[in-house]
Amino acid sequence: MGCPYCEAELDSIDVYGYLARHQSGEVLGEIYKCPNHDGFKDEQQAERYLNEISETLESLGVKSWEEVICENSFGNGFYYTNKSGDLLEGYPV
C-alpha cells in the first residue's frame, strides 16, 4: 500500500481493534507508517517528491534534501485501514 503523498510503500506496523473496545477479538484494520515521515533516505527520492508536488527547497524553506519530509507529517506519518480496506490518514482512535 502506498503513501498518498510521496507514493512510498507504507510500513505495516500493527493491527487494531482486537483488544480494548472490541472484546470479540475482531481485527478492525491495520496501522501503517510512511517511511518518509521524518525524511527521505536518498537525494533522488527527495528530488522526485519535490517534482511531484511542484516545490523546491527554497519554497519549502529548507536548505538541503535531507530536510525534505513527506507532507503527511501532519499525522506523524500514520495511516490506518478501516474494515472496508479504505486507507485513512492518522492513527485509529
pLDDT in tens, 4-54: 999 999 999 998 876 655 566 678 899 999 999 999 999 999 999 999 999
Kindly tell me the burial class for residue 26, based on how many C-beta atoms sit within 10 Å of its own C-beta (0-12, 13-18, 19 or more). exposed
> What pLDDT was estimated at residue 73?
57
Question: Can you read off the three cell numbers belonging to residue 59?
Answer: 519554497
Global pTM reads: 0.82
Residues contacting residue 56 through CB under 8 Å, at least 6 positions apart: 50
Residues contacting residue 5 through CB under 8 Å, at least 6 positions apart: 34, 53, 70, 71, 72
Q: How far is CA 20 from CA 26, 29, 88, in A?
A: 11, 14, 20
Do 60 and 68 contact (CB within 8 A), yes or no? yes
> What pLDDT was estimated at residue 2?
93
